[in-house]
Chains A and B, each alone.
Chain A
Amino acid sequence: MASSDKVERKAEARAVMRLSPRDNVAVALRPLKSGEIVTLDGAPITIRRHIAVGHKFAAQAIEKGEIILKYNCPIGTAISRIAAGEYVHTHNVESNYLPTYQLPK
Chain B
Amino acid sequence: MTLQGYLRADGRKGVRNVLVVAYLVECAHHVAREIATPFRERGVHLIGFPGCYPNPYSLGMMEKLCTHPNVGGALLVSLGCEGFDKRRLARTIEASGRPVLTIGIQDTGGTRRAIAAGREWIEQTLPAMLRQEPVPMGIEELTVGTICGGSDATSGLTANPAMGVAFDLLVAEGAKTIFEETGELIGMEHLMAARAANPALGEELKRSVAKAATYYATLGYASFAPGNADGGLTTIEEKSLGAYAKSGQSTIDGIVKPGIVPPRKGLYLLDVVPDGEVRFGFPNINDNAEIAELIACGSQVILFSTGRGSVVGSAIAPVIKVCANPDTYKRMEDDMDVDAGRILEGRATLPEVGREIYELVQRIGNGEPTKSEALGHQEFILTYKSFEPLGPACLPV
The 8 A CB mask of B172-192 against A (1 = contact, 0 = none) is 000000000000000101010
Residue of A nearest to B156 (CB): A71
B237 and A54: CB pair below 8 A? no
Q: Is A90 within 8 A of B344, CB to CB?
A: no
Of chain A, the residue at the smallest CB distance from B326 is A13
On whether the beta carbons of A96 and B237 are closer than 8 Å, the reply is: yes
Contact of A11 among B156, B244, B345 (CB under 8 A): B345
Distance from B173 Cβ to chain A, minimum over Cβ atoms (Å): 22
Contacts of A12 on B, CB cut-off 8 Å? 346
Give chain A residues whose Cβ lies under 8 Å from the Cβ of B245.
Answer: 71
Stretch at the interface among B11-19, B226-234, B259-267, B385-393: B226-234
B214 contact set on A, CB distance < 8 A: 101, 103
A8-B347, A90-B229, A100-B189 given as contacts; is B213 within 8 A of A75 (CB)? no
Tell me, yes or no, whether B311 is within 8 Å of chain A by CB.
Answer: no
Instruction: Indicate if B236 sits at the interface (CB-CB under 8 A).
Output: yes
Binary per-residue interface labels of chain B (191-210) against chain A in the complex, 1 for a CB within 8 Å, 0 otherwise: 10000000000000010011
Are the C-beta atoms of B237 and A14 separated by less than 8 Å? no
Whether the Cβ atoms of B234 and A88 lie closer than 8 Å is: yes
CB of B346 within 8 A of CB of A89, answer: no
Report the nearest B residue to A89, measured CB to CB: B234
Which residues of chain B are within 8 angstroms of A88 by Cβ–Cβ distance? 234
Known: A73-B241, A76-B234, A93-B234. A19 touches B157 (CB 8 A): yes
CA distance A70 to B317 in the complex (A): 33
Contact A97/B345 with A54-B153, A71-B245 known, Cβ cut-off 8 Å: no
A-B contact pairs, 23 of them (CB 8 A): A9-B347, A13-B344, A13-B345, A13-B346, A14-B346, A19-B157, A52-B232, A53-B232, A71-B245, A73-B237, A74-B237, A75-B235, A95-B235, A96-B235, A97-B235, A97-B236, A99-B213, A100-B189, A100-B206, A100-B213, A101-B210, A103-B214, A103-B217
A residues at B contact (CB < 8 Å): 8-9, 11-14, 17, 19, 27, 29, 52-56, 68, 70-76, 88-90, 93-97, 99-101, 103
Q: Known pairs A19-B161, A56-B234. 18 more at Cβ < 8 A?
A: A9-B347, A11-B345, A14-B344, A19-B350, A29-B344, A54-B232, A70-B238, A71-B161, A73-B237, A75-B237, A76-B234, A76-B238, A90-B235, A95-B187, A100-B189, A101-B210, A101-B214, A103-B217
